Amino acid sequence: EAQVTQNPRYLITVTGKKLTVTCSQNMNHEYMSWYRQDPGLGLRQIYYSMNVEVTDKGDVPEGYKVSRKEKRNFPLILESPSPNQTSLYFCASRRTGPPTGEQYFGPGTRLTVT
Protein backbone atom coordinates (compact mmCIF):
# COMPACT_ATOMS: atom_id res chain seq x y z
CA GLU A 1 0.00 0.00 0.00
CA ALA A 2 1.33 3.41 -1.03
CA GLN A 3 1.73 5.50 2.07
CA VAL A 4 3.60 8.09 4.08
CA THR A 5 4.30 7.09 7.65
CA GLN A 6 5.26 9.29 10.57
CA ASN A 7 6.47 8.46 14.04
CA PRO A 8 5.61 9.14 16.72
CA ARG A 9 1.96 10.09 16.28
CA TYR A 10 1.85 11.88 19.62
CA LEU A 11 4.67 13.38 21.61
CA ILE A 12 4.79 15.43 24.79
CA THR A 13 8.18 16.84 25.68
CA VAL A 14 9.82 19.60 27.65
CA THR A 15 11.51 22.75 26.47
CA GLY A 16 15.03 22.18 25.22
CA LYS A 17 14.97 18.40 24.88
CA LYS A 18 16.03 17.45 21.37
CA LEU A 19 13.61 15.34 19.40
CA THR A 20 13.25 13.80 15.96
CA VAL A 21 10.05 13.04 14.07
CA THR A 22 10.58 10.44 11.39
CA CYS A 23 8.90 10.35 7.99
CA SER A 24 9.08 7.61 5.42
CA GLN A 25 7.40 7.07 2.04
CA ASN A 26 7.27 3.95 -0.11
CA MET A 27 6.33 5.57 -3.43
CA ASN A 28 9.84 6.42 -4.65
CA HIS A 29 8.94 10.11 -4.64
CA GLU A 30 11.70 12.63 -5.15
CA TYR A 31 9.97 15.48 -3.36
CA MET A 32 9.24 15.50 0.36
CA SER A 33 8.07 18.26 2.64
CA TRP A 34 7.20 19.10 6.24
CA TYR A 35 4.26 21.27 7.27
CA ARG A 36 2.86 22.45 10.52
CA GLN A 37 -0.85 23.00 11.04
CA ASP A 38 -2.12 25.57 13.50
CA PRO A 39 -5.75 26.62 14.06
CA GLY A 40 -6.86 29.37 11.72
CA LEU A 41 -3.56 29.31 9.83
CA GLY A 42 -3.90 26.27 7.61
CA LEU A 43 -0.70 24.45 6.73
CA ARG A 44 2.61 26.23 6.56
CA GLN A 45 5.67 24.69 5.00
CA ILE A 46 8.71 24.21 7.23
CA TYR A 47 11.26 22.58 4.93
CA TYR A 48 11.21 20.69 1.70
CA SER A 49 13.53 18.43 -0.27
CA MET A 50 13.65 18.03 -4.02
CA ASN A 51 15.83 14.92 -3.82
CA VAL A 52 18.51 13.18 -1.78
CA GLU A 53 20.91 15.66 -0.17
CA VAL A 54 18.86 18.60 -1.51
CA THR A 55 16.88 20.50 1.10
CA ASP A 56 15.60 24.05 1.38
CA LYS A 57 13.70 26.29 3.77
CA GLY A 58 9.98 26.79 3.57
CA ASP A 59 8.01 29.60 5.15
CA VAL A 60 8.62 28.80 8.83
CA PRO A 61 12.02 27.06 9.16
CA GLU A 62 13.23 28.69 12.38
CA GLY A 63 13.93 26.14 15.11
CA TYR A 64 13.84 23.14 12.77
CA LYS A 65 16.36 21.04 10.87
CA VAL A 66 15.95 18.31 8.29
CA SER A 67 18.11 15.83 6.46
CA ARG A 68 17.62 13.73 3.34
CA LYS A 69 20.22 10.98 3.26
CA GLU A 70 17.92 8.44 1.62
CA LYS A 71 15.14 8.95 -0.85
CA ARG A 72 12.46 7.38 1.32
CA ASN A 73 13.22 9.16 4.62
CA PHE A 74 12.95 12.80 5.62
CA PRO A 75 13.27 13.30 9.39
CA LEU A 76 12.36 16.56 11.12
CA ILE A 77 14.67 17.56 13.95
CA LEU A 78 13.93 20.01 16.74
CA GLU A 79 17.27 20.69 18.42
CA SER A 80 15.85 22.73 21.28
CA PRO A 81 12.05 22.66 21.23
CA SER A 82 10.09 25.59 22.60
CA PRO A 83 6.39 25.92 23.50
CA ASN A 84 5.66 27.86 20.30
CA GLN A 85 6.52 24.69 18.38
CA THR A 86 3.51 22.95 19.89
CA SER A 87 1.58 22.04 16.76
CA LEU A 88 0.36 19.31 14.45
CA TYR A 89 3.05 18.27 11.98
CA PHE A 90 2.58 16.64 8.62
CA CYS A 91 5.06 15.07 6.27
CA ALA A 92 4.16 14.88 2.59
CA SER A 93 5.64 13.53 -0.60
CA ARG A 94 4.92 13.78 -4.30
CA ARG A 95 6.28 12.75 -7.63
CA THR A 96 8.17 15.23 -9.78
CA GLY A 97 5.69 15.65 -12.64
CA PRO A 98 2.47 17.69 -12.66
CA PRO A 99 0.20 18.32 -10.99
CA THR A 100 2.81 19.24 -8.42
CA GLY A 101 0.17 19.99 -5.83
CA GLU A 102 -0.84 16.34 -5.72
CA GLN A 103 0.82 15.48 -2.46
CA TYR A 104 0.48 12.44 -0.23
CA PHE A 105 0.31 13.24 3.45
CA GLY A 106 1.26 11.26 6.50
CA PRO A 107 -1.21 10.87 9.38
CA GLY A 108 0.34 13.67 11.42
CA THR A 109 2.34 14.03 14.61
CA ARG A 110 0.83 16.01 17.44
CA LEU A 111 3.63 17.63 19.41
CA THR A 112 3.23 19.36 22.75
CA VAL A 113 6.18 21.23 24.24
CA THR A 114 5.79 22.25 27.88
Which residues are near another protein by CB under 8 A?
4, 40-45, 48, 50, 58, 90, 92, 96, 98-108
Measured CA to CA, the distance from residue 70 to residue 54 in angstroms comes to 11
Q: What type of residue is 108?
A: G
- Looking at beta carbons only, is 73 or 104 nearer to another protein? 104
- Cα–Cα dist 13/27, whole Å: 31
Residue pair 50/33 in contact by the 8 Å Cβ criterion: no
Amino acid letter, 34: W
Q: Is 40 or 62 the residue whose CB approaches another protein more closely?
A: 40
Looking at beta carbons only, is 64 or 90 nearer to another protein?
Answer: 90
